[in-house]
Amino acid sequence: MKLFLFFASFLLCSTVYAQEVPARWDELTATDWQAALDKSSQTCILPFGILEKHGPHSPIGTDLIHVREWAARATKQEYAVVFPDYFYGQINEARQQPGTFALPAQLIYNLLEATCDEIARNGFKKIVILNGHGGNPEFIRFFMQSFLNKRHNYAIYFYDPENDPTFQAEYRKMHKSDMRGDEHAGESETSVLMYYRPDLMRMDRATSQSGADQKRLSLPGVYTPIWWYASFPNHYAGEGAKATADFGKFITDHEIASFIKVLKEIKADTTTIKLQDEFYDRVDNLGTSKQ
């Protein structure tokens, strides 16, 4: 009986310990590390935000706070290790605004590559980029295509959620402002921050600047890097004053659930790295009989 109680107690303690392994990289101890690798299936989330003006009412770290909370809440339900907040992305279009942290293009590329390499060196085979900034996707996709330029022993996944018609239908019903202009610090993004961090919001200032498209440049069929400034010199696009915390909860509940579903699939994935290795082998053997 005593032996049975000993083993029962040991198993219970082991289970509790496994459940208490922190998700955040910076909150783990070195002695937690192997347990975190095992529990996460060697999966690490890189929450990718930015530091930039978000209208006159929302914090400069809005995108960073968004992905931080998104990752934190998702990993409470589906464990993965979360890398410390990462804000070294593309934001040159907001350099005229206070608080913007914009680094040169080559530097942000090298920094992201070095960061992923270091995450992998610490035992992670899968890195999931969770992005919260609308100016990052083009850069991230270019980075990921360039990833194939040399052999890596890990895989990168960029979470790019699919359209959900049911969610979109309800979203349109709840949305109060013109959806065509709700792009940056507008109703939806402001609602998310009102739900996550109402203490940081300055909603009395939301109408102190215009978030309307100024339409100062018209060149159909042409892309120019000054397009955003031409349209939104205040770095504000939308009507943040129409935001609500309830709408924010609706948005975040859906995005957390959607990400958890994909995170489970990534943790179970055994194909991506195999295909990468096959690709690299064919590159290395190009022109030989092994090809």
DSSP per position, 197-247: -GGG--GGGTTSS--S-------TT---TTHHHHH-TTS-BS-GGG--HHH
pTM of the shown model: 0.91
Could you tell me which CATH number the domain at 23-267 has? Answer: 3.40.50.10310
The tens-digit pLDDT sequence of the chain (291 residues) is 555 544 545 444 444 444 589 999 999 999 999 999 999 999 999 999 999 999 999 999 999 999 999 999 999 999 999 999 999 999 999 999 999 999 999 999 999 999 999 999 999 999 999 999 999 999 999 999 999 999 999 999 999 998 999 999 999 999 999 999 999 999 999 999 999 999 999 999 999 999 999 999 999 999 999 999 999 999 999 999 999 999 999 999 999 999 999 999 999 999 999 999 999 999 999 878 655
Return the pLDDT at 17.
46
Q: What residue has token string 């309307």?
A: 212
Return the pLDDT at 154.
98
How far apart are alpha carbons 9 and 169 in whole angstroms?
50
Return the pLDDT at 15.
47
How far apart are alpha carbons 229 and 246 in whole angstroms?
31
Domain coordinates of the chain in residue numbers?
Answer: 23-267
Return the pLDDT at 221.
95
How far apart are alpha carbons 118 and 108 in whole angstroms?
15
Return the pLDDT at 14.
47
Integer-rounded Cα Rg, in Å, for the chain is 22
